[in-house]
Amino acid sequence: MTRLTSHVFAALSACLYIRAVTSASVAISRTGWTATADSFETGNEPAKALDGNASSLWHSKYTPAPPDTLPNWIAVDMKATFNIHAISIQPRPSGNSNGRIGGHKIEISMDNTSWQTVAIGTFNNDATTKKTTFVTRQARYIKVTATSEAQNSVNQWTSVAEINVFHDVTGSTPTPYTAPVSGKGLWEKTINFPLVPAAVSLLTNGKVLMWSAFARDTFGGANGFTQTGIYDPATGQSSQLEVANTQHDMFCPGISLDFNGRVIVTGGSNAAKTSIYDPAGNAWTGASNMQIARGYQSTATCSDGRVFNIGGSWSGGSGGKNGEIYDPTSNTWSLLSGALVSPMLTADVGGVFRSDNHAWLFGWKSKTVFQAGPSIAMNWYDTVGSGTTTGAGNRLDDGHAMNGNAIMYDAPAGKILTAGGAQNYEDSDARTNAYVITLGAPKTNPTVAKTQSMTYARGFANGVVLPDGTVFVTGGQSRVKPFQDATAALIPELWNPGTGTWTQLNPMAIPRTYHSVAILLPDATVFQGGGGLCGASCAFNHFDAEIFVPPYLLNADGTRRTRPTINTVASTVNIGATLSITTNAAVSSFSLVRFGTATHTVNTDQRRIPLTPSGSGTSYTVVVPSDPGVALPGYWLLFAINSSGTPSVGKIIKVTL
């Protein structure tokens, strides 16, 4: 019986394996399809977007002047229902960029009446075909609405050369539709960007700053400028800005948010540079150069507001990348000769170029920084004076866990979850291992306990703490290989601190491996984007994000739950002080989640504080922890959570020293 079962299972696995390797994303034949549009120019009818001739276009009406104004839309009737997962929009051939779509929304429908948004965003002004991938849905109609032209914000024209719609085919058979599983969250929509977001930060206005490198789609060299953008979750649109005034190609940087919500970006391609984005003035300014040039270093904001920095041999020379610290008040970097990089090296086959990369740092009490990995050895760094280093033991039976994740999900209790990672930076099998580290007094060994391992081995994944204290680990791949999406984990997992167990959630549509990022958004959804940044001919560039809606926001039928709301709360609070909060309904708990930043698996800014309220009904008070090493000053999101576990939208609160 056992033999038979395992034999059947093996056959089934083989069969699944064959299905996986032969299924493909295929453009559906457009024979018989029709298109309509809000307007068209004679000779540029909507059907021209379906005719297979990229030189013939649909163009919105522009004669006699003035042209038909934006938004303009084109809708396609596929004449039958398909299980679709991607739509491509080919702009008119290069040479004339009039009407190329910039801002846009892509919707689908079964009946031509009720429309669901599957993608929204902003395309760059270029002639490449823009293929938008999303979680498979059933549809007969698709509609593309242009909200701005790509080349400038004045023109009212819209043009499209070709539209194609894709479904998944196994052999010659369309893959059957599988609805998302109830209770496992939803990948709601795809956001298109004009660049690959390889680095992101939440901003004090609730928008998301993102950047790639000197180019939108590739990196290399110290070019002195960076392609950036700001995504606005309220509109789905992104602005674009080439930042050159700081002479800093900010690819592969360290990132930290200071006490004022400013984004401190260090090193990378221009390895000695420091650039600061201040959301208050929406401006980038150059700051002092670091004492040691670095790329792939990590930084962490300390309890006194200075920013600790260590490692980073990917750029600026190899080895000897001991600690240094930035004082934002005096704009100076000072070496910490006693903060040694040697105890935090992994044993990477790539040598020190790889072994001092991407430290898992946490600013903690009394101006210390705890380094939880990726080396199996953990360390304390004291940032006072010239700094000291104190060993903190090993993560039990873990190995070196390069490009794994470490997430402080309960700061007052000193709790950090670690997950995944691999022995070497590349060409290495990732692990499923997960541990809970509990910090106590600085410079004493923390306790480490193994928790359930993930189902999927992951390196290059991202970890995001959610308002309820669960930890969402998403993306990555089981064999780490930069610039490849093979072995990508499409199924995210949610770790429950109460049970110490992982739950698999619904799969995303787009692999997120090397150069992918994920952060919590103020509305308690998760932004997961990027991946690739490997050149125009590379197939693994992901100019997009998918938005994940966690189970706590959904009813059993997939519709959104009604959420509690925070009606009033102060926008600033001191550490140790009491916050008074009014809500629209009874809630059972509150939490603060510090703003996140992410690049290359590192997010040293996010951390969560659970808050136990006094009060009842619609009026509560909570006390913010008094230690700045725990309630690290800066910008946080305050969530109210009711007894069903449903969080409010987060209120942006500045915690001050």
Ligand X SMILES: *[C@@H]1O[C@H](CO)[C@@H](O)[C@H](O)[C@H]1NC(C)=O
**Which residues here bind ligand X, judged by CB under 6 A?**
36, 53, 55-56, 75, 77, 112, 561-564, 585, 642-644, 646
> Smallest distance from the beta carbon of 521 to ligand X, in angstroms?
19
User: For residue 323, how far is the Cα from the chain centroid?
Assistant: 27
From 239, 370, 301, select the one nearest 596 (Cα to Cα): 301
What's the per-residue H, E or C state across 18-45? HHHHHEEEEECCCCCCEEEECCCECCEC
How distant, in Å, are the alpha carbons of 255, 624, 635, 645 from that of 608?
18, 12, 12, 16
Task: Assign 122 to helix, strand or coil.
Answer: strand
Among the listed residues 514, 552, 620, 635, the single catalytic one is 514
User: 545 with 229: CB under 8 angstroms?
Assistant: no
Q: How far apart are CB 394 and ligand X at their closest, in Å? A: 43
> Which of residues 347 and 586 has its CB atom nearest to ligand X in the complex?
586
For the chain, give percent helix, strand, coil, nearest 5: 5, 45, 50
Amino acid (1-letter code) at residue 523: D
Compute the least distance from the CB of residue 606 to ligand X, in Å. Answer: 25
Minimum CB–partner distance for residue 66 and ligand X (Å): 23
Cβ proximity to ligand X: between 75 and 637 the closer is 75
Structure tokens at 47: 């059907």
Calculate the alpha carbon distances from 117 to 78, 142, 194, 519, 541 in Å.
Answer: 17, 10, 19, 22, 23
Identity of the residue, 316 or 564, whose beta carbon is nearer to ligand X in the bound complex: 564
The least distance separating ligand X from the CB of residue 292, rounded to whole angstroms, comes to: 51
Cα 290 → chain centroid: 27
Element (H, E) at 15: helix 2-22
CB of 87 to ligand X, least distance (A): 17
Min dist. Cβ of residue 390 to ligand X (A): 45
The DSSP call for residue 508 is P
Is the four-CA dihedral 573, 578, 581, 586 of positive or negative sign? positive
- Contact (CB, 8 A) for 613 and 621: yes
Nearer to ligand X, 45 or 304 (CB): 45
**How far is the first Cα of the chain from the last one, in angstroms, to the nearest whole number?**
66
Alpha carbons within 13 angstroms on the beta-carbon side of residue 41 total: 21
57 vs 52, 76, 97, 276, 304, CA distance in Å?
10, 14, 12, 44, 59
User: Which is nearer to ligand X, 540 or 639 (by Cβ)?
Assistant: 639
Sheet holding 634-641, edge to edge: 572-574, 651-656, 634-641, 589-594, 608-611
Q: Which two tokens stand for residue 417?
A: 């979850």
- Closest approach, Cβ 556 to ligand X, in A, equals 12
| 12: enclosing H helix or E strand | helix 2-22
What is the 8-class DSSP label of residue 183? T
Looking at the Cβ atoms of 413 and 585, the one nearer to ligand X is 585
- DSSP element (H, E) containing 152: none
Closest CA to 193 of 257, 236, 148: 236
Cβ atoms within 10 Å, residue 286: 14
Cβ closest to ligand X, residue 110 vs residue 577? 110
Q: How far apart are CA 214 and CA 226, in angstroms?
A: 4
Q: Which is nearer to ligand X, 468 or 605 (CB)?
A: 468
Nearer to ligand X by Cβ, of 53 and 331: the residue is 53
Distance CA 294, CA 320 (A): 10
Encoded amino acid at 288, one letter: S
Task: Tell me how far apart the alpha carbons of residues 153 and 239 are, in angstroms, rounded to a whole number.
Answer: 11
Nearest distance, CB of residue 140 and ligand X, angstroms: 9
φ, ψ at 408 (rounded to 5°): -85, 100
Q: Which is nearer to ligand X, 92 or 207 (CB)?
A: 92
CA separation for the pair 548, 556 (Å, rounded): 16
Task: Based on the residue annotation, tell me whether 231 is a catalytic residue of this protein.
Answer: no
**Minimal distance in Å, beta carbon 75 to ligand X?**
6
**Number of separate helices (H) and strands (E) present in the chain:** 2, 50
Looking at beta carbons only, is 29 or 114 nearer to ligand X? 114
- As given in the structure block, the two tokens for residue 445 are 């060994």
Cα distance between residue 32 and residue 199, in whole Å: 44
Using DSSP's 3-state secondary structure scheme, residue 429 falls into: strand
CB nearer to ligand X: pick between 25 and 112: 112
The DSSP 8-state label assigned to residue 149 in this structure reads: B
Work out how close the CB of 82 gets to ligand X at its nearest, in angstroms, rounded to a whole number.
15
In the complex, minimum distance from the CB of residue 78 to ligand X, in angstroms, rounded to a whole number: 10
User: Which residues are identified as catalytic?
Assistant: 514
